[in-house]
């Protein structure tokens, strides 16, 4: 099954890269870009039949390795 994991840095944690990209957008005249956050997307192809089970396993992967609980939240989406 194809699984998409989105890892977001928590809003209260600084994102120096996002700040820099936002500044560059403003320099180019895109001043409507009020906020830029550089999140990460991880695509997995996972063995399994049951979407709920696959989702639970991938959430466990996030807790153990893929996301840092100090900085990041995650969302898991399984496409059937």
Partner 1 sequence: MRTAVVVFPGVNCEHDVVQVIRSLGGEADLVWHRVTDLSDFDGVILPGGFAHGDALRTGAIARFSPVMGEIERLAGSGAPVLGICNGWQVLCESGLLPGAHIANRDLSFICDFVEVEVVDTGTILTRSAQPGQVLRVPLNSYEGNWVDPSGEGRVVMRYVDDPNGSQNRAAAVANGPGNVVGIMPHPERASDSLLGSTDGLVLMESFLHSLVAA
Long-range contacts at 16-19 (CB < 8 A, ≥ 24 apart): none
Piece in contact with partner 1 (CB under 8 A), picked from 26-34, 48-56, 60-68: 60-68
| Residue 70: CB minimum distance to partner 1, A | 4
Report if residue 16 touches partner 1, rule: CB under 8 A. Answer: yes
Task: Please pick, from the candidates 12, 27, 32, 47, the single residue that binds partner 1 as defined by CB under 8 A.
Answer: 12
Q: Are 58 and 5 in contact (CB under 8 A)?
A: yes
Piece in contact with partner 1 (CB under 8 A), picked from 11-19, 27-35, 47-55: 11-19
* 40, two tokens: 């990460």
Local structure of 19: helix, strand or coil: helix
Neighbouring residues of 14: CB distance < 8 A, sequence distance ≥ 6: none
Using CB under 8 A, list all residues that contact partner 1.
9-10, 12-17, 20, 65-66, 68, 70-71
């Amino acid at each position: 099954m194809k699984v998409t994991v989105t890892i977001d840095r928590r809003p209260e944690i600084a994102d120096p890269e996002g700040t820099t990209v936002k500044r560059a957008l403003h320099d180019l005249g895109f001043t409507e870009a009020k906020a830029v956050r550089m999140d990460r997307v991880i695509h997995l192809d996972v063995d399994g039949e049951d979407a709920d089970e696959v989702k639970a396993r991938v959430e466990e992967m996030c807790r153990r390795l893929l996301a840092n609980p100090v900085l990041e939240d995650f969302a898991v989406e399984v496409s059937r």
